[in-house]
Structure 1
Amino acid sequence: MFRHQKELQFEVKVEGPDPMLARQIQEVLGGQFGEMTVMMQYLFQGFNCRGEEKYKDMLMDIGTEEIGHVEMLCSLISQLLDGASPEDQAEAAKDPATAAIMGGINPQHLLVSGLGAMPTNSNGVPWNGAYIVASGNLLADMRSNLHAESQGRLQVARLYHMTKDEGVRKTFRKMLARDRYHQYQWLAAIEELEEKKGIVVPASFPPEAEQEAQPEAYEFWSLSEGDASSKGPWATGSAPDGSGEFVYIAEPVPKGHAPNPPVPATELHHDLDEKKIQK
Structure 2
Amino acid sequence: MWIYEKKLQYPVKVSTCNPVLAKYLIEQYGGADGELAAALRYLNQRYTIPDKVIGLLTDIGTEEFAHLEMIATMVYKLTKDATVEQLKAAGLGSHYANHEKALFYENSSGDAFTTTYIAAKGDPIADLYEDIAAEEKARATYQWIINLSDDPDLNDGLRFLREREIIHAQRFREAVEILKEEKDQKRFF
Q: TM-score, normalised by structure 1?
A: 0.62
Deviation readout 1:31-84 (Å, 9 max, x if unpaired): 1111111111001112x13622x3111111110000111111011001000211
Aligned 1:145-164 pairs, distance under 5 A = 145-164=131-150
Judge which range, 33-42 or 2-11, deviates more: 2-11
How far apart are residue 116 of structure 1 and its match?
3.1
Q: Where does residue 207 of structure 1 map in the other structure?
A: none
How far apart are residue 3 of structure 1 and its match?
5.0
SS of alignment partner, residue 112 of structure 1? helix
Aligned 1:1-279 pairs, distance under 5 A = 3-46=3-46, 48-49=47-48, 51-52=50-51, 54-86=52-84, 89=85, 102=89, 104-197=90-183
How far apart are residue 25 of structure 1 and its match?
0.8
Do the aligned residues in 1 keep the contact of 2:138 with 2:162 (CA within 8 Å)? Answer: no
- Look up the equivalent residue of 2:156 and give its one-letter code: K
Do the aligned residues in 1 keep the contact of 2:28 with 2:34 (CA within 8 Å)? Answer: yes
- Look up the equivalent residue of 1:191 and give its one-letter code: E
How far apart are residue 109 of structure 1 and its match?
4.0
Larger Rg: 1
Could you say which structure has the greater relative contact order, defined with CA pairs below 8 angstroms and 6 or more residues apart? 2
- Look up the equivalent residue of 1:118 and give its one-letter code: F
Aligned-partner Cα distance in 2 for 1:5–1:129: 28
How far apart are residue 130 of structure 1 and its match?
1.1
Following TM superposition, the consecutive aligned residue runs of length 4 or more in structure 1 with deviations greater than 6 angstroms are: none
How has the CA–CA distance of structure 1 residues 128 and 2 changed in structure 2, closer, same or farther, with 3 Å as cutoff? Answer: farther
- Look up the equivalent residue of 1:177 and give its one-letter code: E
- Look up the equivalent residue of 2:164 and give its one-letter code: R
Q: TM-score, normalised by structure 2?
A: 0.90
In structure 2, list runs of 5 or more residues that go unmatched: none
Deviation readout 1:179-209 (Å, 9 max, x if unpaired): 11011111111122222225xxxx99xxxxx
In structure 1, list runs of 5 or more residues that go unmatched: 94-98, 205-279
- Look up the equivalent residue of 1:176 and give its one-letter code: R
Bigger helix share: 2
Deviation readout 1:254-277 (Å, 9 max, x if unpaired): xxxxxxxxxxxxxxxxxxxxxxxx
Do the aligned residues in 1 keep the contact of 2:95 with 2:110 (CA within 8 Å)? Answer: no
